[in-house]
Amino acid sequence: MFKHFISLQWKSFWRSASLSSGIWMKIFMGFWAVWFIIMMASGGAGAFFYIKKELCLDPLEVVSRFLIYWWAFDLIFRYALQKMPVINIIPLLILPFSKNKIVSFALGKTMFSFFNIIHGFFFVPFSFFLIVKGDAPVLNVLLWNVGLMALIYANNFLNILLNNKDSLIYIVGSIMAVLGGLHYFGYFDVTQYTAPFFQGLYTSQFLFLVPVLAVVGLYIIAFRSFVKDLYLDAGLATKSKNVKTENLEWLDRFGKTAIFLKNDIKLIKRNKRARSTVIVSALFLFYGLLFFTGAIEVYNDPVWKIFAGIFVSGGFLLSFGQFVPSWDSSYYPLMMSQNIKYREYLSSKWWLMVIATFISTILASGYLYFGWEAYLAVIVGAIYNMGMNAHVVLWAGAYVKTPIDLTSNKKAFGDKQSFNVKTLMLSLPKLALPMILYAIGHYAYSPYAGYLLVAIAGIAGFALRNMVFDKIERIYRTEKYKTIWAYKQKK
Amino acid sequence: MKEFIEQRSIKQSGHTNKKNKRMIGVHNITKTYAGNTVLSIEHLEIPKGDSFGLVGNNGAGKTTLFSALLDLIRPTTGHIENNGIKVSESEEWKSITSAFIDETFLIGYLTAEEYFYFIGELRGQNKADVDALLAEFEDFFHGEILGQKKYLRDLSKGNQKKAGIVAALIGNPEVIILDEPFANLDPTTQIRLKKIIKDLAADPNVTVLVSSHDLMHVTEVCERIVVLDKGEVVKDLSTSEETLKELEEHFNK
């Protein structure tokens, strides 16, 4: 029986429209998977040596202390990105499979998810060095690992149970944020209370049973609730809330552009996929901490400051913008047959990105804490983002042809990410160019000359706006038929 | 419904009202996918004010023709004119043309009202204009569209279709293209829709293009019926008493 499921999965993966579209896609996906694995593995090894040599602390103790945050982040991350295993179940319901089989397959499938396996790449090398270099007893390290993996899998099933319960995840997220804040400013250290548990997984030989039993329990609960909900009007139903009609008339001052701007705001507010993109872009705001706190050594090179500035101010631009016009993919034929000028459509997207960049820049004023030069990098990054990157993103978008399913988060990472040589080439001016410009100014004259050069490039982008829009408009028009066709290819 | 038509006629009285002026012209178009010709029409003219019905089995090319008319697909050869404008070269035809082909013409995350106002804004209609038009369709909506507190994507297929059809009537379009408008509708709504299409057809300024699998409906509302088979025009009939019989015989072969 499982043979059938597996062959169905196999076909659905390899025959999906967006994957079969090109070899580049596969290479790109493979590249990112390998990259992640290498990063995690070297992180695991690196953490061991860094803590031992540089901080002269016990690596296991330090890692155990912070595991509570790791665990919470994992849960939030999963909630935002991991897809639910409900897809493709409906056609199976009336076939002669028992419901238990369907559910155990669906749940079993999630166990092999990248979200679970990736953790192993950190903990296995870390544990390896613990044993080899740290002379830790093999059995205890092993039990520690079993306990951790059990916690990770507990998250896996917890996420299935929590799916669509938005409020719960926000509560977990805000509790963690508050605890993290209290910890950072030294008022209250939650790790003091949680570390003994994680440490205990190592020192005690029986504590690992707690997470293992938790996983078994959660699996059973998830299994039961899944079987119980295997009805079209229960677990498989698409939920619909009562909604209100909104006017957003205050946007009308933007003229014709407002028509689309209003729509885009509703798009972001009302669709899960778009919302998670906004959440991700909010996380970019904190990305600069890695640079300005000197947490990572390679990032101390001054050129990376401008890289940070681009990301901090342009999180939304880069994460939302890269999928323009795919956000409108489900009704693209409507847009194309309506009385719409491409220019207005594009400029509304442009305004959206500019407004978001502006807001990000204001929010990023917290970086003033690290001195006004840190914030200057953000401001210069913002100018470059508005002037240059907003155009480049729209331009690259003309070649993006993967439809987006707005209502689900599935494959926010995976094969929806359209990829081809053109978009790769266009990503260079987004990040590399400002860094190069800055480096020229910085090394030839002074840091301020570097900032000035980047800012000038951004302002030049503004000045060329009309010309660039003409060009983008032409590309959108020639790509139109291909785009409509591609958007019709649902998974 | 009568008021609706009168209102339209008043609004459009400024237009030239010459019957038989060519509205749609199809010239030598073919569409080929990987060596497989799905559409091949040498010549087809639809005069202004006509009500034009398109019938044919699955895969006959009905939706392909409508999509080409809307410049959503590019024909392999030939071109299509709408009001004297080549659809693939200029976008001027868009302001007088509206269509509902399938659910890709709906914006799933809007409520029905928001969707109507959005289309209205694109077509230069303010809220009051749209509200006045919607009021005419209260019967047709049957209380299931307006004020529903639901997004369009959460409405039933039939109700989605109702919203899509009415949206295609916003802004006094001169060419209205409806693909399979009767499918998925309940009997009461089908009857009301026939009335709406007949009233539109009665307006000499409005050219209606409808496709259907239901021979009865289409003979009832269209003055002219074209049968497509494997992408080619095999019959071109002016509707009369015998048309339904003739069509039934054709499809019973």
Give the start-to-end residue ranges of the domains of chain B. Answer: 2-107+172-251
Cβ-nearest to A259 among B91, B122, B150: B122
The pair phi, psi for residue A476, each rounded to 5°, is -60, -40
Q: What is the dihedral of CA A433, A439, A441, A447, to 10 degrees?
A: 120
Q: Where are the alpha helices (DSSP H) in B107-214?
A: 112-122, 127-136, 138-141, 157-167, 187-202
| A334–B72 CB contact, under 8 Å | no
A205 plus A257 within the same structural domain: no
Alpha-carbon gap: B70 to the closest alpha carbon of chain A (Å): 6
A275 plus A407 within the same structural domain: yes
Angle between helices A421-444 and A303-321 (to 10 degrees): 150
| B72–A333 CB contact, under 8 Å | yes
Q: Tell me which chain B residues have a C-beta less than 8 angstroms from the C-beta of A271.
A: 109
Q: Which of B92, B122, B134, B209 to mutate to test the interface with A (most CBs of A within 10 A)?
A: B122
Give the residue-averaged pLDDT of B207-234. Answer: 93
| B110–A240 CB contact, under 8 Å | no
Length reported for chain A:
491
| B122–A337 CB contact, under 8 Å | no
A216 plus A261 within the same structural domain: no
CA A177 to chain centre: 18
Cβ-nearest to B104 among A238, A245, A334: A334
A404 plus A344 within the same structural domain: yes
Cβ-nearest to B122 among A243, A244, A339: A339
Alpha-carbon gap: B59 to the closest alpha carbon of chain A (Å): 17
Q: Tell me which chain B residues have a C-beta less than 8 angstroms from the C-beta of A244.
A: 111, 149
A371 plus A480 within the same structural domain: yes
Q: What letter represents residue B210's amino acid?
A: V
Domain count, chain A: 2
A198 plus A311 within the same structural domain: no
**How far apart are the C-alpha atoms of A429 and A463, rounded to whole Å?**
17
| B94–A340 CB contact, under 8 Å | yes
Residue A233 located in a structural domain:
no
Residue of B nearest to A238 (CA): B154
- Strands across the sheet containing B207-212: B97-100, B175-179, B207-212, B51-55, B224-229, B232-238
| Res B189: pLDDT | 93
Tens-digit pLDDT profile for residues B109-158: 899 999 999 999 888 888 899 999 999 999 899 898 998 888 898 899 99
The pair phi, psi for residue A367, each rounded to 5°, is -70, -10
| Res A429: pLDDT | 76
Residue pointed to by tokens 């008021």: B3
Question: In whole numbers, what is the pLDDT of chain B averaged over residues?
Answer: 88
Residue of A nearest to B113 (CA): A245
Q: Which region, left, alpha or beta, applies to residue A111 given φ > 0 means left and ψ of -120 to 50 means alpha?
A: alpha
Tokens of A346: 């594009």
Interface of A with B in 227-256 (CB under 8 A): 238, 240, 242-246
User: What DSSP designation does B34 have?
Assistant: T
Residue A451 located in a structural domain:
yes
Whether residue A477 lies within 8 A of chain B, CB to CB, comes out as no
Measured between alpha carbons, how far is residue A317 from residues A278, A354, A449 in Å? Answer: 10, 8, 26
Tell which residue, A256, A447, A262, A465, has the closest CA to residue A350: A465
Cβ-nearest to A339 among B94, B107, B149: B94
Q: Where are the alpha helices (DSSP H) in A50-165?
A: 59-81, 99-111, 114-132, 138-162
Contacting residues for B6 by C-beta, under 8 A, at least 6 apart: none
Tokens of A171: 């509560």
Asked if pLDDT for residue B75 goes beyond 70, the answer is yes
Tell which residue, B14, B5, B75, B2, has the closest CA to residue B39: B75
User: What DSSP designation does B72 have?
Assistant: S
Can you give the three-state secondary structure of A297-319, one letter per residue? HHHHCCHHHHHHHHHHHHHHHHH
Peptide linkage before A85 cis (omega within 30 of 0): no
A454 plus A353 within the same structural domain: yes
Angle between helices A59-81 and A23-49 (to 10 degrees): 150
| Res B131: pLDDT | 93
| Res A295: pLDDT | 67
The pair phi, psi for residue B60, each rounded to 5°, is -75, -15
The pair phi, psi for residue A104, each rounded to 5°, is -65, -30
| B109–A242 CB contact, under 8 Å | no
Helix (H, G, I), strand (E, B) or coil at A219: helix
Residues A51-72 as b or e (16 or more Cβ within 10 Å = b): bbeeeeeebbebbbbebbbbbb
Kindly indicate the confidence band of residue B11, based on its pLDDT and cuts at 50, 70 and 90: very low
| Res A101: pLDDT | 82
| Domain spanning B2-107+172-251: CATH 3.40.50.300 | yes
Residue A123 located in a structural domain:
yes
A312 plus A408 within the same structural domain: yes
Q: What angle do CA B98, B100, B103 make, to 5 degrees?
A: 140
A49 plus A107 within the same structural domain: yes
Q: Which residues pair with B229 in a beta bridge?
A: B232
Measured between alpha carbons, how far is residue A2 from residues A11, A16, A97, A113, A222 in Å? Answer: 14, 21, 10, 18, 20
Angle between helices A272-284 and A303-321 (to 10 degrees): 170
Tokens of A313: 């101010």
CA quadruple A116, A118, A124, A129: dihedral positive or negative?
negative
Tens-digit pLDDT profile for residues B190-203: 999 999 999 999 99
Interface of A with B in 291-330 (CB under 8 A): 330
Q: Where are the alpha helices (DSSP H) in A163-253?
A: 166-184, 191-203, 209-228
Residue A76 located in a structural domain:
yes
Tokens of B39: 């559409």
Q: Which of B38, B98, B107 to mutate to test the interface with A (most CBs of A within 10 A)?
A: B107
Helix (H, G, I), strand (E, B) or coil at A257: helix
A175 plus A276 within the same structural domain: no
The pair phi, psi for residue A383, each rounded to 5°, is -60, -45
A458 plus A353 within the same structural domain: yes
Q: Which residues pair with B97 in a beta bridge?
A: B175
Residue pointed to by tokens 């080619």: B232
Q: Which region, left, alpha or beta, applies to residue A352 given φ > 0 means left and ψ of -120 to 50 means alpha?
A: alpha
**How far apart are the C-alpha atoms of A476 and A474, rounded to whole Å?**
5
Alpha-carbon gap: B37 to the closest alpha carbon of chain A (Å): 17
Asked if pLDDT for residue B63 goes beyond 80, the answer is yes
Which DSSP helix (H) or strand (E) runs through B237? strand B232-238
| Res A422: pLDDT | 60
Strands B85-86 and B77-82: antiparallel
Q: What is the dihedral of CA B63, B69, B71, B73, to 10 degrees?
A: 30
Whether residue A406 lies within 8 A of chain B, CB to CB, comes out as yes
| Res A241: pLDDT | 63
Q: Which domain range does residue A116 map to?
A: 2-228
A218 plus A258 within the same structural domain: no
Q: Are B44 and B233 in contact (CB under 8 A)?
A: yes
Residue pointed to by tokens 């919203």: B163
| A340–B119 CB contact, under 8 Å | no
Length reported for chain B:
253
Q: Are A52 and A134 in contact (CB under 8 A)?
A: yes
Measured between alpha carbons, how far is residue A444 from residues A308, A384, A458 in Å? Answer: 21, 20, 20
**How far apart are the C-alpha atoms of B97 and A41, rounded to whole Å?**
59
User: What string of pLDDT tens digits covers the 491 residues of chain A?
Assistant: 677 777 777 776 666 655 555 566 667 767 777 887 888 888 888 888 888 777 777 888 888 888 888 888 888 878 776 766 665 677 777 777 788 888 888 888 888 877 888 888 888 888 888 888 777 788 888 888 888 889 999 988 888 887 656 677 778 788 888 888 888 887 887 778 888 888 888 888 788 888 899 999 999 988 888 888 777 776 666 655 677 777 777 777 777 788 888 888 889 888 878 887 888 788 888 888 877 777 666 666 778 888 888 888 888 888 888 888 888 888 999 988 887 778 888 888 898 999 999 999 998 888 888 888 888 989 999 999 999 899 988 888 888 777 777 776 544 433 334 444 565 566 667 788 888 888 888 888 888 888 898 999 999 988 888 888 898 888 888 888 888 888 887 64
| B150–A267 CB contact, under 8 Å | no
Helix (H, G, I), strand (E, B) or coil at A453: helix
Residue A242 located in a structural domain:
no
As for the ipTM of the complex, it is 0.82
**How far apart are the C-alpha atoms of A322 and A316, rounded to whole Å?**
9
Cβ-nearest to A339 among B72, B74, B123: B123
Q: Which of B33, B69, B98, B114 to mutate to test the interface with A (most CBs of A within 10 A)?
A: B114
Whether residue A167 lies within 8 A of chain B, CB to CB, comes out as no
Tell which residue, A229, A306, A321, has the closest CA to residue A268: A321
